[in-house]
Each structure stands twice: as C-alpha cells, then as structure tokens.
C-alpha cells in the first residue's frame, strides 16, 4: 500500500468477490485527476508544450525537495545540507526568473504554482525554527521572493497557511516531526519504447560521457530521451510520451477518462518499486541476492496489478501508454538473464502467469517488434559494461 499522504476515495470495486475502495493517491496524481474531472476552472494548461514545460520544471524542482527532506529530518543540524539547500534554491531562482511572469503559470496561479508551493513555503519556517540566522535573502532570491509574496496573497493559500510559531517552533522543542501534506515528487527516468521515428534527425548520446553541448544547451539534468522541435525542448521519458500524445491526438495512447488516467499513473508509481529494484540488480550484475529477491518481490505486486486489470493489456483490449511506459524494464529482464547466464533471473510462468501473458501479447505489437533488442547484441553490451568500457554502438544498425 502506498504511504502517500494525499488520498482520495473515488468508488468501490469488486474483485474476486471482495469489495475494494478505488482510490486516487499521490499529490500530483490527485491534483491532475481533480483538474481533469472538474474542468470548469482548469489549473493545468491546455497547451501540450506548456504542460511539458511545467512538468520538466517539477523534475528540476526535485533537487529542492530532496534537500527539503534532508534538512527537515535532521533539524538543520547538518550545516552542509543547509548550504546545499540554498544552492538548490539558487537553481530554482533561475527557473523562476526565466518565466518572466508573476506566477510560474503566467499572469495567474496555475497547477505548477500549487505543486511547488508546499515545500517552498516550509523552508523559511524550518530555518526560522532551527537556524534563525539563515533566511531567504531577497537580494539573493529576488524572483523567488516576489513569487512567494504573490502566492501568500491568494485566499486559498491564506486559508491553508501554517502559523510558524505554533506549527514548527513547538515541534522543534518537543522533537516531533510534522506530517508533510504533500507526497514526495517521485522521479523515475525510463526508456521510451514505441514506433521508430521517421523524418527526424536522431542523435545518440553516450550516457556515461554526455557532451557539454547536451548538458548546457539541451537539458542540464542530462535526461534521455530528449526531443527538440524548433526551439521547444522536452526531456524525460514520461513527459516526452505525454507531450507527443497530446500533440498528435490522432492515435491517443493516454485514456480520456480522468479516473482511468489516474489509475494508470498510480500503477506507474507502484511499478517504480520494481524499476528501482531492477536497476540495483542491473548495476550489480545480479550479484546481490537480496537485491534479486527484492526485485522479484516487487514483481509479485505487479503480477497482482495485472490480474486486477483483467484485460489482455494494462490499457485494456489494446496497448495504451501505461503498457509502453512499463515495458522497457520488463523486456530487459530475460535479456539480462541470457547475458549473465543466470537462470535465477528468468521469469517463471508459474509464479508470474499474468506477467507472462502480458509479455507475450506485447511482443505481438508491431512497435515492440520494430524496437526489439537482439539478445547477442545485448550480451555484448553487458560485457562492455562489466569491463567498464561501455559501448552503446553495439545496438546501432547501419
């Protein structure tokens, strides 16, 4: 069960004779669900590129969130963490300044403003409680300070404002930890798996040695895939997929129903346990038995989720975005077992009948067949990885 602190009960569903409440959880998913469900006062932008920009800003904002929790849970006792928090805010100051509008969302507050507000508004309170000599200097953070002042004028912000003396100082003296209203922003870079692009220039980036022009001019986070259309740059697999899906709606992969879309995004959140465990297995070359067990335990949960869906694909009777977003790690597992000659990594159809059936259905999809890895090429790639001379060119077909 997710420990997300923002949970919304939607309806009750029956599965195997047992009733389960259908809920939407995770702050960002709940916000998007409610925004789509009640479109009279939309907070997310209609323009696909603006929406992609907002989501990329949330990716960059992850550095601020990471430092927020670090200083919060050590009560600012680590002075280096305090300085790193200020440095993370330096980077966010640049992002706010680039927007050149009163709010991040433009002339009025939008979803992006409310999504970044919960952590930022607490940082001055944490400083006030534990290190009062440290403040958010308006000279150092002029754009950030201006934005925070504008946000504090909003009625909805005033209604939910935390009184600094009562909420934080009292907790500082008692040593208790305050409950965070919004769940942590989860960052899950994944590889995009879809039909091969045509009519576009493809530039392959060495992930172990990213060129300076890519980091300086394209994406400072160095994430792939990244697409550039004229002067518009979009990075991160999930953001790229959603952007292209909105830009070219003739063959939509994301569902139109807000609740179904929320379900798919919650499934991706849960799937993050498997992808995270998978990466540990990958980078230890399956040498860590505990990591291997954790990965398969996470896959047990994914097996249950597929069974609950009760359809050939996660997206229903045909593959949808949630199928393509979860596919990249699953498809690598048998290749990794072959490359490492490790049968313990093989997927057991007896243990994972639903996963196995889903994999078989996915392998019939033309887009998957067009982008399928050759197992011997992948083995060669793993050998170069183990030798610490990573060669991505083994996958390039002249």
Residue 144 inside a domain? The answer is: yes
Kindly state whether residues 155 and 268 are assigned to the same domain. Answer: no
Burial label for 106, CB within 10 Å (0-12, 13-18, 19+), is middle
List the Cα angle 38/42/48 in 5-degree steps.
Answer: 120
How many C-beta neighbours within 10 Å does residue 267 have? Answer: 19
The CA distance from 54 to 104, in Å, is 8
Res 44: pLDDT: 95
Residue 234 inside a domain? The answer is: no
Residue 207 inside a domain? The answer is: no
Res 2: pLDDT: 40
Alpha helices for the chain (secondary structure H): 27-37, 48-73, 79-99, 111-120, 122-130, 142-152, 155-159, 164, 170-174, 212-213, 237-247, 258-283, 289-309, 321-339, 353-362, 366-370, 375-386
CATH number at residue 75: 1.20.1050.10
Kindly state whether residues 94 and 15 are assigned to the same domain. Answer: yes
Question: Looking at the 3D structure of the chain, how many domains does it have?
Answer: 2
Residue ending a domain, among 164, 187, 210, is 187
Q: Which residue has the tokens 């990573």?
A: 390
Res 172: pLDDT: 38
Residue 221 inside a domain? The answer is: no
Kindly state whether residues 265 and 175 are assigned to the same domain. Answer: no
Residue 212 inside a domain? The answer is: no
Residue ending a domain, among 187, 210, 245, is 187
Q: Which residue has the tokens 């807000």?
A: 258
Mind listing the pLDDT tens digit for each residue in 278-334? Answer: 999 988 988 888 989 999 999 999 999 999 999 999 999 999 999 999 998 899 999
**Cβ atoms of 390 and 384 closer than 8 Å:** yes
**Cβ atoms of 123 and 136 closer than 8 Å:** yes
DSSP 348: P
| Ranges of residues in the chain whose predicted pLDDT is under 70 | 1-22, 162-200, 397-398
Kindly state whether residues 165 and 80 are assigned to the same domain. Answer: yes
Residue 236 inside a domain? The answer is: no
Q: Is 7 helix (H, G, I), strand (E, B) or coil?
A: strand
Tell me how far the alpha carbon of residue 216 is from its chain's centroid: 22
Kindly state whether residues 174 and 274 are assigned to the same domain. Answer: no
Kindly state whether residues 125 and 272 are assigned to the same domain. Answer: no
Kindly state whether residues 179 and 306 are assigned to the same domain. Answer: no
The CA distance from 328 to 310, in Å, is 22
Range of the domain at 353: 258-395
Q: Tokens standing for 313?
A: 């694909």
What size, in residues, is the chain?
A: 398
Res 6: pLDDT: 54
Kindly state whether residues 10 and 112 are assigned to the same domain. Answer: yes
Residue ending a domain, among 165, 187, 209, is 187
């Amino acid at each position: 069960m997710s420990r997300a602190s923002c949970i919304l009960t939607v309806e009750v569903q029956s599965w195997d004779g047992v009733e389960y409440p259908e809920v939407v959880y995770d702050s960002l998913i709940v916000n998007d669900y409610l925004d789509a469900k009640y479109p009279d006062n939309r907070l997310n932008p209609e323009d696909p590129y603006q929406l992609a920009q907002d989501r990329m800003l949330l990716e960059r904002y992850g550095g601020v969130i990471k430092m927020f929790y670090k200083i919060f849970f050590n009560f600012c006792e680590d002075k280096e963490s305090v300085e790193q928090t200020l440095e993370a805010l330096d980077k966010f100051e640049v992002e706010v300044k680039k927007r050149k509008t009163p709010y991040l969302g433009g002339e009025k507050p939008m979803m992006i403003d409310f999504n970044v507000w919960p952590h930022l508004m607490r940082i001055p309170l944490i400083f006030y409680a534990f290190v009062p000599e440290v403040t958010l200097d308006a000279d150092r953070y002029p754009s950030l300070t201006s934005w925070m002042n504008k946000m504090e004028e909003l009625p909805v912000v005033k209604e939910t404002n935390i009184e600094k003396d009562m909420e934080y100082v009292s907790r500082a003296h008692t040593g208790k930890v305050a409950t965070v209203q919004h769940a942590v922003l989860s960052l899950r870079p994944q590889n995009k798996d879809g039909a091969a692009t045509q009519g576009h220039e493809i530039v392959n980036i060495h992930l172990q040695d990213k060129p300076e022009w890519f980091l300086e001019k394209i994406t400072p986070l160095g994430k792939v895939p990244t697409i550039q259309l004229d002067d518009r740059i979009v990075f991160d697999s999930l953001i790229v997929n959603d952007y292209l899906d909105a830009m070219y709606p003739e063959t939509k992969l994301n569902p139109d129903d807000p609740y179904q879309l929320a379900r798919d995004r919650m499934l991706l959140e849960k799937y993050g346990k498997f992808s995270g465990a998978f990466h540990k297995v990958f980078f230890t070359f399956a040498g860590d038995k505990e990591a291997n067990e954790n990965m398969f335990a996470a896959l047990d949960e994914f097996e249950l989720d597929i069974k609950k869906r009760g359809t050939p694909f996660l997206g229903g009777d045909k593959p949808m975005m949630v199928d393509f977003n979860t596919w990249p790690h699953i498809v690598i597992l048998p290749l990794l077992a072959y490359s490492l000659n490790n049968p313990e990594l093989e997927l057991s159809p007896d243990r994972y009948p639903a996963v196995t059936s889903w994999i078989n259905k996915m392998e019939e999809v033309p887009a998957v067949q067009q982008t399928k890895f050759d197992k011997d090429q992948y083995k060669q790639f793993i050998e170069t990885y183990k030798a610490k001379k990573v060669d991505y060119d083994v996958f390039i077909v002249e």
